[in-house]
Structure 1
Amino acid sequence: MDIKGTSVRSLILRFLNNQKKRDNNYFIAQGILKSFSKIPQLTIYDLSEEYFVSTSAISRFIRLLGFASYTEFKDAVATEIDIVNDYAKHFAQPAQEQSEEFMSIFTDNILANINYVKEHIALEQVERIVATIAQAENVAVFGLEFATFMGQHFQSKMASMDKLIQVGFTIEEQIEIVETISENSVALVFSMEGGFFYFSEKVIAALKEKGVTIIAFTFKNAPIIERNAEEVMICGEINENTEGRIAILYIMELLIYYYMRDIYLIR
């Protein structure tokens, strides 16, 4: 399984959320999440003793997630345990007096991104994208972790208007989607920093080879995006403290509304 660009915690949480029985794998998954920040310092034997399961059972679960070995799994965990990387250095410290300052700046930045869309994005572009979605035989949402979570919301709302949207969580699932859709299809790529175009080159290459129309929603119209996307919507400018996550949802809500107004209600 190709899991590059997919959060380890998200893989485990997804496993737990979809697990129908509380077997050995279920309790191993729970144990790993409870010890997640300590994983880089723990050997497989430490984990085995702490949760009273065999090392072979842990190895099987690790492979089930898509990792070749516990070492590979531990290295992947080490790269994502530092949540402070989500925020500007100024705010990533235990200083109570900064609480109000963060709320103010964070809120102002979100509003600045929303106002950017209001002031810079032409309604004609939104309506054109909505029409493209309506006319496409297949539509799929692509992105890294948060974008795929929001993609499920977008999928649900569009399904209420009889439009099927596909969402792939891992790169492997995304490749499978590309393989099954037709040439007259649309890929909606939500990537505020453009990371998807770098981390998921296999998916982008498969979309290009299939002749799928790529519409990118981003903050930065980088050369790699310009080379690969037929249309680019700039959705804001600020993503210092994860403000881009709100921008993704905001843009999706605009697409949902205008699809409802322009397509669904006039059928």
Structure 2
Amino acid sequence: MKRTAYSLMTALLAVMNESEPGEPYYVLAQYLLYHFDQLKDLNIYDVAEACFVSRSGIRRFCQSIGFDNFSDIKAEAEEWQRQCNYFIGYSMRPQYKNYLSGSITAMMEEINRLATPAVLEKLAERIHASRNVVLFTSDFSGMTARGFQQSMVVMGKLVLIVTDAQNIPGCLQDLTPQDLLITISATGSFATVMEPVVRKSAAYKVLVTVNHAKRFWSQYDHVIYLSEKDAEGVRTVYSQYGTNYFFDILYSCYVQKYLENGRVQGPFPEPVLSETTKNRAQKRLE
């Protein structure tokens, strides 16, 4: 089985996000997402008829998202229950708002203890010195990477994002020891599935996670923990907010270390609006 997708659900969502509504791949992805809970009972003939595509078209679709054929996609039927447990189970806590706000505060305090100035500076220096920097993450968790990628542009450093929605092997196997590969895997599940791919990369490798599995130390040059507690495969505030917070403080470290004197400095004061501008804005609101 040619499995390059970490999660079938995220692969299908990526197709929907990147396709035009009505296109064959969009229709197939949408159909499979709507029928995910019945995946093991789906018949390729029925899917072909419902989506107005051929069986060969379905096979090409499967291969485009990292699976050999429709049978391999059906084999992922159990993912539905995992996703339900991961999302619904976590959100069903009583007094959820109080739990969430308290957990986020404790999380930030813990990350501040673990991500010491020395840890942040070492990684910032590695980013600055590397020829190519690649952030490797699941498509589901890609927002953290995309925010960091955009912020690094104004610092003159281009960062590449590779997710499980892409042709991963080709992207990572071309990296050399002069390059940096940062895997973002809060629970460690993504890093576990992608172990064979990461192992083949010659880049300097860093893992950001809350998973304390010892095997990661044999695959990565450096492992940065966001928590002192192991949380393998479990959704916590670190999954949703921890990586964002970590990359925010990492970026601040990078800016303060490498911002050139010639660049415009921030933070910027609030603009002083003239009365004419204020009146014009007020009329637009009315």
- Change over 3 Å in CA distance of 1:84–1:223 after alignment to 2: same
CA deviation digits over 1:188-247, x for unaligned, max 9? 12222333442112222112xx2x222221223432122233222221247553322211
- Cα distance in 1 between the residues matched to 2:14 and 2:61: 14
Moved more, 80-89 or 122-131: 80-89
AA matched with 2:112: K
Give the structure 2 partner of residue 203 of structure 1: 197
Answer yes or no: is the 8 Å Cα contact 1:192–1:244 preserved in 2. yes
Matched, 1:217 2:211: no
- Change over 3 Å in CA distance of 1:84–1:34 after alignment to 2: closer
- Change over 3 Å in CA distance of 1:205–1:51 after alignment to 2: closer
Show structure 2 runs of 5+ residues with no match: 263-286
Partner secondary structure for residue 223 of structure 1: coil
CA deviation digits over 1:59-87, x for unaligned, max 9? 332233232221111112x1321223215
Matched, 1:180 2:174: yes
Moved more, 157-166 or 61-70: 61-70
AA matched with 1:224: R
Aligned partner of 1:115 among 100, 103, 109: 109
Give the count of matched residue pairs: 257
- Cα distance in 1 between the residues matched to 2:211 and 2:36: 33
Give the structure 2 partner of residue 227 of structure 1: 218
Aligned partner of 1:248 among 216, 239, 243: 243
- Change over 3 Å in CA distance of 1:115–1:31 after alignment to 2: same
- Cα distance in 1 between the residues matched to 2:210 and 2:23: 44
- Cα distance in 2 between the residues matched to 1:29 and 1:193: 26
Q: Give TM-score scaled by structure 2 length.
A: 0.77
Answer yes or no: is the 8 Å Cα contact 1:136–1:186 preserved in 2. yes
Give the structure 1 partner of residue 256 of structure 2: 261
- Cα distance in 2 between the residues matched to 1:189 and 1:53: 37
Give the structure 1 partner of residue 120 of structure 2: 126
AA matched with 1:7: S
Deviation at 1:248, TM superposition (A): 0.9
Deviation at 1:26, TM superposition (A): 2.8
- Change over 3 Å in CA distance of 1:28–1:222 after alignment to 2: closer
Partner secondary structure for residue 253 of structure 1: helix
- Cα distance in 2 between the residues matched to 1:227 and 1:104: 39
| Counterparts of residues 157-168 of structure 1 (less than 5 Å) | 157-168=151-162
Deviation at 1:107, TM superposition (A): 2.9
- Cα distance in 2 between the residues matched to 1:154 and 1:3: 28
- Cα distance in 2 between the residues matched to 1:111 and 1:145: 26
Deviation at 1:119, TM superposition (A): 2.6
Deviation at 1:134, TM superposition (A): 0.5
Give the structure 1 partner of residue 75 of structure 2: 75
Partner secondary structure for residue 81 of structure 1: helix
**Superposition RMSD in Å:** 2.8
Partner secondary structure for residue 215 of structure 2: helix
- Cα distance in 2 between the residues matched to 1:3 and 1:150: 24
- Structure with the higher fraction of residues in helix conformation: 1
Larger Rg over CA atoms: 2
- Change over 3 Å in CA distance of 1:84–1:108 after alignment to 2: farther
Partner secondary structure for residue 163 of structure 2: coil
- Cα distance in 1 between the residues matched to 2:56 and 2:225: 48
- Cα distance in 2 between the residues matched to 1:27 and 1:120: 45
Give the structure 2 partner of residue 139 of structure 1: 133
- Change over 3 Å in CA distance of 1:262–1:68 after alignment to 2: same
Answer yes or no: is the 8 Å Cα contact 1:16–1:26 preserved in 2. yes
Deviation at 1:52, TM superposition (A): 4.3
Deviation at 1:263, TM superposition (A): 0.9
Matched, 1:63 2:58: no
- Cα distance in 1 between the residues matched to 2:185 and 2:121: 20
Calculate percent identity across the aligned residue pairs.
21
